[in-house]
């Protein structure tokens, strides 16, 4: 609601960059309509001449990754199946056709470059060359970090236990009093509400298999719409590349 009053904070990100043809930043928060409101309208009000880059991952894989992120970093204790039924964000963010429509309500199509995570992963240089050509910069430039993997969830990690103490730790009350609790007690409490999570455990794999199929069914129409918008097949997405078989 107060985004206009904080524009100076946003401009400060680009301090010192005055001679570049393009300056950019990135965030997944820009494509979380309607959960985060109409970000596209606000960005257009700020800069109607912006160029926008949108990378899309196989929507089922993205939703599963989304799930592990909130388990690991936000204390989520529900199963993925339960989250699909109760949290609209996990489906909305994977509904790329809906997200793109919001941006095309305010920007021209040629201001939006759309690619896939899989293209960037398996053909990084070719994908960057197409992107750089679209930006009218040196298409032969090779980013130093092109082969690095970022933000990958490990196969096993320490996660939350669904206990009363866990709910207290992630409550508004704890947000207020937690910083005033001595660190030795905070560490002890943290150890009591966490356990080791093995993503390859048979019981988790069985749940994920069922959840993946449910996600595929729920997102199939949006993928079909997306292919129409982009005028291309998205066969690089393993969850949908056997639809005709």
- What is the per-residue pLDDT across 100-158, written as a single tens digit (0 to 9) for each? 999 999 999 999 999 999 999 999 999 999 999 999 999 999 888 888 888 888 889 88
Give the tens place of pLDDT for each residue, 84-97.
999 999 999 999 99
pLDDT at position 238 over 70? yes
Is residue 176 very low, low, confident or very high in pLDDT (cuts 50, 70, 90)?
Answer: confident
pLDDT of residue 244: 47
123-127, 188-192, 218-222 — which is least confidently predicted? Answer: 188-192
- pLDDT above 50 for 172: yes
Nearest to 89 by CA among 131, 168, 35: 35
- Asked if the model's pLDDT at residue 162 lies above 60, the reply is no
Beta strand pairing call for 112-116 and 52-56: parallel
Distance CA 202, CA 236 (A): 27
Q: Which of these, 59, 43, 50, lies nearest to 112 by C-alpha position? A: 50
- Give the mean model confidence (pLDDT) for residues 209-235: 96
Beta bridge partners of 158: 196
**For residue 189, pLDDT beyond 80:** no
User: What angle separates helix 202-230 from helix 96-104, to the nearest 10 degrees?
Assistant: 40
Whether 227 contacts 234, CB under 8 Å: yes
CA distance 117 to 169: 35
- The whole-number pLDDT of residue 120 equals 94
Q: Which two tokens stand for residue 225?
A: 């719409």
Residue 27, both tokens: 């965030």
């Amino acid at each position: 609601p107060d985004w206009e009053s904080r524009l100076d904070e946003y401009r400060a990100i680009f301090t010192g960059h005055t001679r570049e043809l393009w300056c950019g930043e990135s965030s997944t928060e820009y494509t979380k309509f309607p959960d985060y409101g109409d970000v596209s309208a606000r960005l257009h009000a700020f800069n109607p001449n912006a160029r926008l880059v949108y990378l899309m991952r196989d929507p089922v894989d993205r939703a599963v990754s989304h799930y592990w992120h909130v388990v690991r970093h936000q204390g989520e204790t529900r199963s993925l199946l339960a989250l699909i039924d109760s949290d609209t964000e996990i489906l909305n963010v994977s509904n790329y056709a809906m997200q793109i429509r919001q941006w095309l309500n305010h920007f021209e199509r040629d201001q939006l470059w759309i690619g896939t995570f899989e293209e960037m992963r398996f053909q990084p240089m070719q994908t960057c060359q197409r992107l750089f050509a679209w930006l009218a910069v040196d298409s032969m430039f090779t980013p130093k970090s092109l082969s690095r993997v970022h933000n990958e969830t490990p196969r096993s990690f320490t996660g939350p236990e669904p206990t009363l103490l866990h709910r207290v730790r992630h409550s508004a009350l704890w947000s207020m009093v937690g910083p005033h609790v001595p660190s030795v007690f905070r560490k002890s409490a943290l150890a009591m509400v966490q356990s080791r999570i093995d993503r390859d455990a048979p019981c988790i794999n069985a749940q994920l298999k069922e959840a993946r199929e449910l996600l595929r069914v729920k997102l199939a129409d949006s993928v079909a719409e997306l292919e129409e918008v982009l005028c291309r097949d998205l066969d690089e997405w393993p969850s949908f590349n056997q639809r005709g078989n």
